[in-house]
Amino acid sequence: MTLDVSRRSLLALGAGLGATAMLGGSALAKAPKLGTQAPYFHRFNFGDAEVTVVSDGPLPLGDPGGAFLGVPKEEIKKMLTDNFLSPDNVVLEQNSPIVNMGDKLVLFDTGMGTSKAFGPTTGRLQKSIAESGIKPADIDAIVCSHAHIDHIGGIVGADDKPLFPNAQVYIAQSDYDFWTDEGKLGGPLKDFVLHARKNLLPVKDRLVFIKDGQEILPGIQAISAPGHTVGHTVFMVTSKGKSFCFLGDLTHHQVLLLEKPRMEFAYDTDPKAAANTRVKLLDMLAADKTPVMSYHFAWPGYGHVVKAGDGFRYIAAPMNMQL
C-alpha cells in the first residue's frame, strides 16, 4: 500500500516538473548571480579588548611536497584529502588581528604588501582594514612576529611611504638584522631581503626592538620562538584575566604541522629548531587550554589546540561570538 502511494506521488511530481519545463521554467527563481564575497574581517570581544581580524588574502603554496618535508608525499596528500583539502595546492590564510586594548590599537603582522611572490590573491590588507571601519592612521603599534616577506610586507606602500603613519614597529633585533642584511642580496634569500629592506628601513626611526619575556605593550608579552627565523616571536595577549596567543608562524597549517608537528617546513631557517619550538609551545598552549590566533590557519584562525596522540588537533572557535 505504501509503495503504491509513493509511486503515485512520484508520478505526480514528475508531471508537475514536466509542466514547469513546458512553461519555460517560469516557476523558477531568476535572480542574477552576485559574484561578490563578504568583507574580509571578523570582530569579537576578548576581555575588555576588541579584536578585529583582517585578511591580506589567501596565500597559495602549491604542491605540498615542495614545502612540507620529512614525510612521504602520499602520506601528506592523504592527510589533506582526509580533511577535505586539496592534495595538490596548499592554500594558507593571512590573518592579522587588530587588538583595541582601550588605550592602544595594535596590529599584528601586515601581509605581503606589494609583493606578488605567491600570486595575485595577496596584498588586500588595506582593503580589509577599510572594510572593517578602522583607519590606518589610528594604528598605534605594528607588532611583527618576524621579518618574512608575508609578515612585514604591508608596512609601506608602493611609494615606500609608511601606510600606518602613527605606528611604532615592534620586532626582534636579531630578525631585523638577519633579513635586512645587504650581504644576503646575492644569495637565495634575495627576494625576502629586498622586501624586508623595502618595508623596514623606511621606518627605522620607529623601530622598537623586543626581548623574550618582555611586556612590550600593556597586556602584550613577547615569547621567543626561534627556528622558523632566528628571532621569530609569538605574543601572549591578555585583557581582564583572559589570554590568547598570537602564533605568528609557529605552525603554518592546521592539519599538516599539527598532526605531525615534527614535520619540517621548507621556509624554516632552522627546521629542527622550529620543530622543537613548535612542540614545546603547542604542548604548553594545549595543557593550559589557551586560545590561539594563527596567522596562516583557515580564516579567521582563532580557536584552540588540543593533544591528539603524538600530535595536536585544531578546534576553530565559533564565528558567532557575541560583541
β-pairing verdict for 141-143 and 168-172: parallel
Compute mean pLDDT per 10 residues along the chain, 323 residues long, and list them: 48 47 57 90 96 98 94 95 96 98 97 95 98 98 98 97 98 98 95 97 98 98 98 98 97 96 96 97 98 97 97 92 50
Please choose, from the candidates 130, 137, 121, 111, the residue with its C-alpha nearest in 3D space to the C-alpha of residue 52.
Answer: 130
Q: Which three cell numbers stand for residue 4?
A: 503504491
Q: 54-78 burial by CB neighbour count: b if 16+ within 10 A, else e?
A: bbbbbbebeebbebbeebeeeebbe
Burial of 227 from C-beta contacts in 10 A (0-12 / 13-18 / 19+) = buried
Q: Provide the pLDDT for residue 321.
A: 59
CB 142, CB 170: distance < 8 Å: yes
| 195, 198, 258 from 114: Cα distances, Å | 9, 10, 31
CB 125, CB 163: distance < 8 Å: no
Segments in the chain forming alpha helices (H): 2-22, 73-82, 125-132, 149-152, 173-179, 190-200, 256-259, 271-288
Q: Provide the pLDDT for residue 11.
A: 44
Does this model's pTM top 0.85? Answer: yes
- How far apart CA 26 and CA 60 sit, in angstroms, is 42
- How far apart CA 304 and CA 52 sit, in angstroms, is 18
- Show the 3-state SS of 47-74: CCEEEEEEECCCEEEECHHHCEECCCHH
Q: Provide the pLDDT for residue 10.
A: 43
Q: Which three cell numbers stand for residue 24?
A: 519555460
Calculate ∠ Cα 311-306-292, nearest 5°. 110
CB 245, CB 236: distance < 8 Å: yes
Give the H or E element holding residue 237. Answer: strand 233-239
CB 251, CB 228: distance < 8 Å: no
Q: Provide the pLDDT for residue 28.
A: 67
